[in-house]
């Protein structure tokens, strides 16, 4: 049987199929152009050449291997990016280009290309795995199915991966790729020209006072130690809040005056990065100055001369990255101006998935400042998007260090500080007790707290809405059937829950009416910390694919069990914890709960922290002082900058003080 897949099927692909001497029994595509759809219908080829419809959550090994998700993102994407680092991004163009921005931080530049590549190859790596899965399930010999993809710089690295998975990878010229390239090229030229025109005649005084800044990311704007917020590192620190800037860039959820007032009351300066990022006329709006324009022109000219020289030497690779090179120059230049104008010497920003964060952090280094990022969630697997270009990265504990390094991180310092919001564990107890009493007063005898991980109807989603509906329906019926069960539901995205549950909404209202089912709420994520609702329950149920809420509740002393409907059988929780802390279906979960309820002492392994792999290395402190430690480190940097020290000196002092205060084993070089 001869089978061929196309990653993207257009008119040119159709023409090749029509004139090809190779006749395939089946031809499938993953994506298709509109003209090609029309042509297939006109030529009556729709039954011969058709869409291969899949959902990532269905892609599992037939031999009990489980979901392909961990191998796709934890191994395959990383493998391709590692190969690209050696075979493509070691080219003289990429090395010389990054030297324009900083000799000290060129390793960060390497990370930009790595992250950009990971984004571009993501779908192809998934398609390779889907074709391999199809071959396995259809009992087709390895090396007989062809996947044809659009040609790119990454083809050879992808070909090595596909060969390992038994898939023949071929490439073809794509008009879509050419159109996309030209769109990005002229789009970036236009945006860079516009940035120059708007800022060329604008001047501003540079602040002499060293400040610390942080991006607002919708996690909560408050100073309540019992509620989620965007700057936990600030709350218990000795940082002078008059030196803090919180900046806003979301146009869809702009800064309003009430939010600005909350910050001003604390002495913190609110700042919008554009007029669209705020609805208040009282909030200062940052506007790029001539410094940004000069940087764009100067660096753009240097980049252009390098590219011309490379082309003359016959290296056309430089042309292929021209749109990204222009974008990087603009991002770097505007960020440089932003930091200089506002006197920012320390920037705290955990958004590491964006490749162009590298440009911002290199610009801060050029301004003599230090960039900070930190771990916010549990990491079951390594992933390229985790790799950070921040100068200092704060990890929960050493358990995650290897995963971060495998992801390709580029940091000067890795600092272990514990679970960042552990200060909340003791402070929410009163709220938890009130919540528990509310359920007990309505007849509950045993309380379950369930955390979902959101869901989405997309072929690339590992959790479809149908699965959310399945779990919630099961839990709701349990509450209605057993009047001694209380249920706390904490959806990851409360505002989308009703739309995700569909027909299960009627059942949801029924369980709410019992008084034994409570839902957490919030504008974006739940406003309360997971530990608050977890401490109100007898057992916490979390999804294995996430694990952050479970880690938080383990550390705050609760029994926690994982529900794994995704089939992540390779996760270490299965080694000693199957049907004790991890359950692969809802019925076995129910049986585990009922067994524990009937004889708690006889089933003490149920939800036990002792069975949580590496728990001691996930947070080696467990003292409630994690945010304080991070805040003290940042405060050390600010004080050193205030004394006129260089960024190298400031970091050396902050690292040394942290080692003296908490132990030298908790600070290390980022790449070791």
Per-residue pLDDT, averaged over 371-376, amounts to: 97
Q: CA-CA-CA-CA torsion for 108, 112, 117, 120, nearest 10 degrees? A: 150
What's the whole-number mean pLDDT along residues 461-475? 96
CB–CB of 403/624 below 8 Å? no
Residue 501 located in a structural domain: yes
> Which segment of 305-319, 573-587, 621-635, 640-654 scores lowest on mean pLDDT?
305-319
pLDDT of residue 141: 85
Is 454 a domain residue? yes
In the chain, count H helices and then E strands.
27, 22
What 8-state DSSP symbol labels residue 665? Answer: G
Residues 332 and 439 in one domain: no
Work out the percent of the chain whose per-residue pLDDT is above 90.
88
pLDDT at 1: 65
Burial class (CB in 10 A: 0-12, 13-18, 19+), 283: buried
Q: What whole-number distance in Å separates Cα of residue 146 and Cα of residue 487?
A: 50
Q: Which residues does residue 370 pair with via DSSP β-bridges, in sequence order? A: 346
Query: pLDDT-derived band of residue 142, with 50, 70 and 90 as boundaries?
Result: confident
Contact status, residue 619 vs residue 399, Cβ threshold 8 Å: no
Mean pLDDT on 472-491: 97
Q: How confident is the model at residue 65, as a pLDDT?
A: 76
Name the average pLDDT for the chain: 94
Position with higher pLDDT, 317 vs 392: 392
Q: Are the beta carbons of 423 and 627 closer than 8 angstroms?
A: yes
Quick check: is 661 in a domain? no
- 66-67 and 60-61 strand pairing: antiparallel
**Residue range 78-92, pLDDT digits in tens:** 999 999 999 999 998
**Residue 565 resides in a domain:** yes
- Residue 103 confidence class, pLDDT cut points 50, 70, 90: low
Assess whether 613 and 479 both reside in one domain.
Answer: yes
Is position 499 within any domain?
yes
Instruction: Tell me: do 594 and 494 sit in the same domain.
Output: yes
Residues 435 and 582 in one domain: yes
State residue 459's pLDDT score.
95
Q: Are residues 319 and 451 in the same domain?
A: no
> pLDDT tier at 105 (50, 70, 90 boundaries)?
low
Phi-psi region of 285 (alpha: psi -120 to 50; beta: other; left: phi over 0): beta
- CA dist 422 and 621 (Å) reads 10
Band the pLDDT of 208: cuts 50, 70, 90: confident
- Give mean pLDDT, residues 291-308: 94
Q: Are residues 328 and 468 in the same domain?
A: no
Interatomic CA distance for residues 155 and 200, integer angstroms: 41
Range of the domain at 304: 187-202+287-342
Q: For position 649, what pLDDT does the model report?
A: 97
Percent residues over pLDDT 70 in the chain: 99
User: With DSSP H G I counted as helix, E B as strand and the rest as coil, what are the percentages for the chain, rounded to 5?
Assistant: 50, 15, 35
pLDDT in tens, 519-560: 998 877 788 999 999 999 999 999 999 889 999 999 999 999
Asked if residue 269 belongs to a domain, the reply is no
Number of domains in the chain: 2
Same domain, 463 and 335: no
- 603 shares its domain with 467: yes
Radius of gyration in angstroms for the set of CA atoms belonging to the chain, rounded to a whole number: 27
| DSSP letters for 577-625 | HBTTTEESSHHHHHHHHHHHHH-TGGGTTTT-GGGSTTHHHH-S--SS-
pLDDT given at position 206: 78
Question: Is 464 inside a domain boundary?
Answer: yes
Q: Tell me: the pLDDT tens digits for 377-396?
A: 999 999 999 999 999 999 99
Same domain, 437 and 579: yes
| pLDDT tens digits for range 46-64 | 989 999 999 999 999 876 6
Do the domain assignments include residue 174?
no
> Both 338 and 452 in a single domain?
no
**Per-residue pLDDT tens over the stretch 523-533:** 777 889 999 99
Question: How many whole angstroms separate alpha carbon 569 and alpha carbon 587?
Answer: 17
- For the segment 337-354, the average pLDDT, to the nearest whole number, is 96
Residues 594 and 497 in one domain: yes
Residue 608 maps to which CATH number?
3.40.50.2000
Instruction: Tell me the pairing of strands 446-451 and 168-172.
Output: unpaired
Distances (CA, A) of 510 to 482, 498, 507, 513: 14, 14, 5, 5
Domain finish residue from 580, 597, 618: 618
- 436 and 338 in one domain? no
């Amino acid at each position: 049987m001869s089978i061929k897949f196309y990653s993207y099927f257009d008119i040119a692909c159709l023409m090749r199929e029509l004139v090809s001497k190779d006749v395939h029994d089946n031809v499938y595509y993953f994506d298709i152009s509109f003209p090609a759809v029309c042509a297939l219908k006109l030529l009556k080829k729709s039954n011969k050449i058709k869409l291969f419809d899949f959902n990532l959550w269905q892609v599992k090994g037939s031999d009990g291997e489980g979901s392909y998700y961990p191998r796709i993102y934890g191994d395959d994407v990383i493998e391709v990016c590692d190969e690209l680092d050696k075979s493509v991004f070691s080219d003289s163009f990429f090395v010389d280009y990054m030297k324009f921005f900083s000799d000290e931080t060129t390793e960060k530049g390497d990370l930009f290309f790595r992250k950009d590549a990971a984004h571009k190859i993501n779908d192809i790596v998934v398609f390779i795995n889907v074709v391999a899965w199809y071959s396995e399930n259809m009992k087709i010999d390895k090396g007989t199915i062809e996947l044809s993809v659009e040609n790119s710089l990454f083809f050879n690295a992808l070909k090595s991966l596909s060969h390992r998975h038994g898939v023949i990878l071929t490439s073809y010229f794509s008009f879509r790729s050419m159109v996309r390239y030209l769109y990005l090229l002229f789009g970036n030229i236009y945006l860079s020209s516009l940035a120059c025109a708007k800022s060329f005649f604008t001047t501003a005084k540079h602040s002499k006072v060293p400040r610390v800044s942080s991006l607002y990311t919708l996690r909560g704007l408050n100073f309540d130690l019992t509620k989620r917020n965007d700057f936990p590192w600030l709350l218990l620190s000795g940082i002078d809040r008059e030196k803090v800037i919180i900046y806003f860039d979301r146009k869809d959820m702009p800064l309003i005056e009430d939010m600005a007032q909350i910050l001003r009351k604390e002495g913190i300066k609110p700042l919008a990065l554009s007029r669209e990022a705020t609805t208040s006329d009282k909030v200062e709006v940052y506007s790029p100055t001539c410094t940004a324009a000069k940087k764009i022109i100067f660096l753009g000219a240097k980049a252009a001369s390098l590219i011309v020289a490379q082309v003359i030497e016959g290296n056309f690779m430089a042309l292929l990255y021209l749109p990204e090179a222009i974008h990087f120059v603009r991002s770097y230049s505007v960020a440089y101006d932003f930091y200089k104008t506002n006197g920012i010497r320390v920037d705290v920003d955990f958004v590491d998935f964006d490749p162009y964060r590298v440009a911002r952090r290199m610009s801060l280094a050029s301004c003599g400042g230090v960039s900070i990022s930190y771990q916010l969630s549990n990491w079951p697997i390594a992933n390229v998007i985790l790799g950070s270009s921040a100068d200092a990265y704060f990890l929960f504990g050493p358990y995650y260090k290897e995963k971060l390094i495998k992801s390709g991180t580029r940091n000067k310092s890795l600092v272990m500080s514990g679970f960042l919001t552990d200060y909340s564990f003791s402070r929410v107890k009163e709220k938890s007790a009130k919540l528990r009493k509310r359920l007990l007063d309505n007849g509950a005898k045993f309380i379950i707290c369930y955390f979902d991980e959101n869901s989405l109807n997309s072929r690339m989603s590992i959790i479809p809405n149908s699965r959310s509906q399945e779990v919630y329906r099961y839990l709701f019926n349990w509450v209605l059937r057993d009047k001694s069960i209380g249920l706390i539901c904490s959806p990851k995205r409360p505002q989308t829950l009703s739309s995700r549950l569909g027909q299960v909404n009627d059942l949801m209202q029924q369980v709410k009416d019992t008084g034994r089912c409570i839902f957490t709420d919030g504008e974006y994520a739940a406003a309360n910390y997971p530990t608050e609702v977890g401490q109100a329950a007898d057992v916490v149920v979390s999804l294995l694919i996430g694990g952050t809420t479970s880690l938080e509740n383990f550390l705050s002393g609760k029994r926690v069990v994982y529900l794994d409907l995704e089939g992540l059988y390779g996760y270490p929780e299965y080694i000693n914890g199957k049907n004790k802390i991890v359950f692969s279906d809802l019925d076995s979960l129910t049986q585990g709960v009922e067994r524990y309820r009937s004889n708690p002492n006889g089933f003490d392994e149920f939800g036990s922290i002792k069975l949580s792999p590496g728990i001691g290395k996930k947070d080696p402190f467990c003292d409630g002082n994690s945010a304080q430690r991070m805040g003290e480190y940042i405060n050390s940097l600010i004080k050193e900058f205030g004394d006129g020290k260089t960024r190298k000196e400031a970091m050396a002092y902050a690292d040394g003080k942290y080692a003296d205060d908490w132990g030298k084993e908790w600070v290390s070089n980022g790449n070791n």
